[in-house]
């Protein structure tokens, strides 16, 4: 059939015009594999993936080859008894194998369960057991993690390895070579389940967010807007975010392939900012989703313009970006970093787009066309501009999850009427921009003030001695909570009491007396989720435990 790479957002002169003209078009029948792979596999040799291996070898995979491999693997899965609705885990890094596995699963109507290779045995066991995965596609790294837990997963019948024959493991590619490439895409409804993505578990046990095939359509406006009306001729997308995360899979890989835009795949076991600059320049990357933590690490690279990158758009989300990082981005890349906002359950619903509207430092942007986002009070009523409340998204929404897998109570608790509660606090200004204040459990109550950590962290990052920073509240008899800064200093910096005093003064002078951190602690690393978000709850617990163990460190 004839295909087009046209954006779903209409050409517009302003944000207001964009919102007024946008309409959802969600067909009754929709399958991610057909939309992102098969429709471009027309024999033209169009490039889908550019894969740079760890050794530097570069291979280009066409949509035709991707479709053929996915069809064969789909038949392999069916031969192993995988049927429509069965769960199949994908424990692989960025690379062609991961893309093939996803499209094979979608095309036979099964449900993909993407998993991080950074997960330890306990984390893997929980997700595989909770999802009831019947099969897993992985490599030798994943097999090593599975070894200790395999016998505790009775539902896991089949392990398909991409690195060859191993004891108790089927070689995926040997099986695929013997399989037919005739594996038609099953006719799935847009509402049929397609994948389970587990929440990061920053507050309690992880929950499996079950998404329908339509979630891809729901994500498209939220990709196109912060990526400056993506796609444009010559676009090429890369993100360091793992494709097991909703940010890597649905903020980058699948929307790009939906539009026929090639994606650069590269496994980076540990994020290296210099390597990231070089990689993007070498391949002519035009579009990227870069988490805030990665951007803050890239700030430490000397003279980034020397790499000769050709970026057209940068989107960032997952943590508050901050004015300091925003300004640095303009200097380093020559473009404005567009912050966006969403979560695993309903992603990419707020965004900036510097080509259509002013980007206000410290604000996440405005609601993406097609999404109704508000700041509400405890009764579910929208708050007036400037007043703090809970950030919520109204259903129905194509990007919104179907519910938590096997957890109806948690699903019900996620909603207040038709409002999905994000668990985040914020405020909306007179122009409709939304300010993120913090997670419900991250907000600090000190001397009667409610303090979001983002503003203080942004100020801390302006200090020349600070590489990374997190702000939490610790119990305090006088103030309820004490604002505490936990800082990773820059290399070569002497972290002592004198520096702590200078940092406290730095924030007090720039923000306010009630906002500055009365306690400053120096650490080598910050606890983070696999998606790069600071785990403030874990940080609070770690600090509290260390102070109990060493009471002489208390002020």
Query: Any idea what the CATH number is for the domain that residue 121 is in?
Result: 3.40.50.980
Q: Which residue has the higher pLDDT, 1 or 239?
A: 239
Beta strands in 127-251 (DSSP E): 135-138, 158-161, 170-171, 193-198, 208-212, 237-238
- pTM: predicted TM-score of the whole model, two decimal places: 0.84
Residue 281: pLDDT over 90: yes
Residue 554: pLDDT over 50: no
- How many other C-beta atoms can be found within 10 angstroms of the C-beta atom of residue 291? 26
Tell whether 417 is covered by a domain: no
Predicted pLDDT at 297: 85
* Closest by Cα among 487, 484, 483, 449 to 468: 487
**Is cis: bond before 31, omega within 30 of 0?**
no
Alpha-carbon distance of 238 to 263, in angstroms, equals 6
Alpha-carbon distance of 310 to 38, in angstroms, equals 30
| Domain stops at, among 131, 155, 188 | 188
Tell whether 505 is covered by a domain: yes
Q: Are 433 and 364 in contact (CB under 8 A)?
A: yes
Enclosing H/E stretch for 547: helix 536-549
Q: What tens digit of pLDDT does each residue of 431-449 get? A: 999 998 877 767 686 765 6
Number of domains forming the structure of the chain: 2
Tell whether 216 is covered by a domain: no
Q: What tens digit of pLDDT does each residue of 131-165 get? A: 999 999 999 999 999 998 999 999 999 999 999 98
Query: Any idea what the CATH number is for the domain that residue 446 is in?
Result: 3.30.300.30
Q: What average pLDDT does the segment 399-412 reach?
A: 96
Tell whether 12 is covered by a domain: no
- Banded model confidence at residue 3, pLDDT cuts 50, 70, 90: very low
List the alpha helices (DSSP H) in 133-265. Answer: 140-146, 172-177, 215-224, 246-248, 254-258
Tell whether 175 is covered by a domain: yes
| Residue given tokens 């805030």 in the structure block | 292
- Banded model confidence at residue 2, pLDDT cuts 50, 70, 90: very low
Q: What average pLDDT does the segment 317-337 reach?
A: 87
Handedness of CA 230, 231, 236, 237 (dihedral sign): positive
Q: Which residue range(s) make up the domain with 464?
A: 441-553
Predicted pLDDT at 549: 53
Residue 296: pLDDT over 50: yes
Tell whether 223 is covered by a domain: no
Tell whether 465 is covered by a domain: yes
Predicted pLDDT at 555: 39
Predicted pLDDT at 200: 62
| Domain stops at, among 156, 188, 220 | 188
Q: Are 263 and 238 in contact (CB under 8 A)?
A: yes
Tell whether 324 is covered by a domain: no
Mean pLDDT of the chain: 91
| Domain stops at, among 188, 205, 228 | 188
Predicted pLDDT at 202: 46
């Amino acid at each position: 059939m004839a295909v087009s790479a046209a954006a779903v957002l209409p050409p517009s002169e302003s944000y207001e015009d964009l919102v007024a003209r946008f309409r959802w078009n969600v067909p009754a029948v929709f399958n991610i594999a057909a939309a992102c792979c098969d429709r471009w596999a027309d024999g033209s040799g169009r490039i889908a993936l550019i894969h740079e291996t760890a050794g530097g070898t570069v291979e280009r995979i066409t949509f035709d080859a991707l479709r053929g491999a996915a069809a064969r693997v789909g038949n392999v899965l069916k031969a192993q008894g995988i049927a429509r609705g069965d769960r199949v885990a994908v424990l692989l890094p960025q690379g062609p194998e991961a893309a093939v596995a996803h499209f094979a699963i979608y095309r036979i109507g099964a449900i993909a369960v993407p998993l991080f290779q950074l997960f330890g045995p306990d984390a893997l066991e929980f997700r595989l057991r909770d999802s009831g995965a019947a099969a897993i596609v992985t490599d030798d790294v994943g097999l090593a993690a599975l070894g200790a837990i395999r016998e505790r997963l009775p539902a896991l019948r089949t392990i398909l390895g991409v690195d060859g024959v191993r004891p108790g493991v089927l070689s995926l590619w040997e099986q695929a070579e013997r399989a037919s490439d005739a594996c038609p895409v099953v006719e799935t409804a847009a509402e049929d389940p397609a994948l389970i993505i587990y929440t990061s578990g920053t507050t309690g046990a992880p929950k499996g967010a079950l998404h329908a095939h339509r979630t891809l359509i729901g994500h498209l406006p939220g990709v196109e807007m912060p990526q400056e009306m993506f796609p444009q001729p010559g676009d090429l997308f890369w993100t360091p975010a793992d494709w097991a995360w909703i940010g890597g899979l649905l903020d980058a890989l699948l929307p790009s392939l939906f539009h026929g835009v090639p994606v650069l795949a590269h496994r980076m076991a540990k994020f290296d900012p210099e390597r990231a600059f070089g990689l993007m320049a070498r391949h002519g990357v035009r579009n990227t989703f870069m988490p805030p933590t990665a951007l803050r690490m890239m700030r430490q690279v000397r003279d980034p313009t020397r790499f000769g990158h050709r970026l057209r758009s940068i989107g960032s989300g997952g943590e508050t970006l901050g004015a300091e990082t925003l300004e640095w981005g303009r200097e380093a890349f020559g473009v404005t970093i567009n912050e966006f906002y969403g979560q695993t359950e309903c992603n990419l619903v707020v965004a900036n787009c510097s080509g259509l509207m002013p980007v206000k430092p410290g604000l996440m942007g405005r609601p993406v066309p097609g999404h109704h986002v508000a700041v509400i009070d405890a009764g579910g009523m929208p708050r007036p501009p400037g007043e703090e409340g809970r950030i919520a998204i109204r259903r129905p929404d194509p990007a919104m999850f179907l519910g938590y897998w096997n957890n109806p109570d948690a699903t019900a608790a996620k909603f207040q009427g038709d409002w999905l509660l994000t668990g985040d606090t914020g405020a909306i200004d007179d122009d409709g921009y939304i300010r993120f204040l913090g997670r419900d459990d991250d907000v600090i109550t000190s001397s009667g003030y409610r303090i979001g950590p983002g503003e203080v962290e942004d100020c801390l990052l302006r200090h020349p001695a600070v590489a990374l920073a997190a702000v939490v509240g610790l119990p305090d008899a006088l103030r309820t909570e004490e604002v505490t800064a936990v800082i990773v200093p820059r290399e070569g910096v002497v972290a002592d009491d004198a520096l702590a005093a200078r940092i406290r003064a730095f924030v007090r002078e720039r923000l306010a007396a009630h906002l500055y951190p009365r306690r400053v602690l120096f650490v080598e690393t910050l606890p983070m989720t696999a998606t790069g978000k600071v785990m403030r709850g874990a940080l609070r617990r770690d600090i509290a435990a260390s102070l109990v163990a060493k009471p002489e460190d208390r002020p």
